[in-house]
Amino acid sequence: MGVCKYCGHTAGVFNEFHQECLDNYEACLNEMTELTKTAVLNGGDFQKLNARLIELAREGNVEKKKIKKAALRGWSQAVNQIVEEGVVSRSVERVLTEFKQFFHLSQNQLERVGSNKRLIRACIIREVLEGRLPDRSQSVEEMPFLLLEKERLIWLFTDVKYCEHKFNVDFVSKYKGIEFGDAEYYRPSSFASQLLDENQVVHLNTGLLGITNKSLHFTGPRRSFKINLSQIMSLTAFKEGLGVKRDVTSKPTIFITEDGWFTYNLVSNIRKMHL
């Protein structure tokens, strides 16, 4: 006789669980995720949320260790929704950070969900949109570029593919940003369909791409160069990265950072400070 892994009662020959126990388990798990998402979006009471999550886990025979997982999933969904709807405000950032502390989410757990990285990057975008130079950039042990006197590193991308487009094309953007003062914010979904045709570009090198308040610096084993932001004629967003055109006669330079949303929001708005 098999024993149901959810309720512990006999489940019949060859059965490991009752169908209704499985359904109940899944419904409770989903509700835990949903409740968390709603609580985060509404800036809710995490003490109350936690009590309800424990209750639901009991009702659905959900293992204790899965409570945190469901909460993290709900938090992630909330982050993605917030970033899609617009710029992450300071007060929303505070709620999102409080949640991480309340549930004692470790760096390791957070790194496993892409939304934590997305949140950090969204906050940097907000600071740039506000016309300020973010001071939360990663610490760089040794500056790989030669910076000018008032030049400051805002972000350093690693493993960036530096490519050149085979043709002198002008990309046409199909998306529109959300106005934020004089700046503009582009949602992650704007980039989803902006795919780079890798057959149309030549991969020249892979290295570091530094974004400063004055330039884009690239350095790799074979090439090192910089592009002044004031010398850029146009920028194009791709899901995978950024296209930069310096003048009408040159072929676009493409930087594949694997995060076009962040790269484009960052560079286009820092560049606006120079226009």
Give one DSSP letter per residue of 238-275, joined into a string.
-SSEEEEE-STTSPPEEEE-S-HHHHHHHHHHHHHTT-
Q: Minimum Å distance from CB 18 to Zn ion? A: 4
Angle at 241 between CA 143 and CA 182, to 5 degrees: 85
Task: Pick one of 2, 7, 32, 268: the residue that binds Zn ion (CB under 5 A).
Answer: 7
CA-to-CA distance for 268 and 229, rounded, in angstroms? 9
Determine the size of the site formed for Zn ion (CB under 5 A).
Answer: 5
Q: Minimum Å distance from CB 154 to Zn ion? A: 55
5 lines the binding site for Zn ion (CB under 5 A)? no
Q: Minimum Å distance from CB 58 to Zn ion? A: 14
Q: Are 123 and 130 in contact (CB under 8 A)?
A: no
CA-to-CA distance for 200 and 243, rounded, in angstroms? 13
CA neighbor of 59 nearest in space, from 36, 32, 34: 32
What kind and span of H or E run contains 161? Answer: strand 153-165
CA neighbor of 87 nearest in space, from 175, 185, 182, 176: 185
Going residue by residue from 16 to 55, which x/- string records binding to Zn ion, judged by CB under 5 A? --x--x----------------------------------
CA-to-CA distance for 59 and 111, rounded, in angstroms? 30
Q: Which is nearer to Zn ion, 18 or 271 (CB)?
A: 18
Q: Which is nearer to Zn ion, 6 or 185 (CB)?
A: 6
What kind and span of H or E run contains 84? Answer: helix 65-85
Q: Which is nearer to Zn ion, 4 or 62 (CB)?
A: 4
Q: Which is nearer to Zn ion, 7 or 41 (CB)?
A: 7
CA-to-CA distance for 259 and 257, rounded, in angstroms? 5
Task: Pick one of 2, 3, 4, 268: the residue that binds Zn ion (CB under 5 A).
Answer: 4
Q: Which is nearer to Zn ion, 4 or 123 (CB)?
A: 4
Q: Minimum Å distance from CB 31 to Zn ion? A: 18
Q: Minimum Å distance from CB 20 to Zn ion? A: 7
Q: Which is nearer to Zn ion, 16 or 55 (CB)?
A: 16
6 lines the binding site for Zn ion (CB under 5 A)? yes
Interface residues toward Zn ion, by CB under 5 A: 4, 6-7, 18, 21
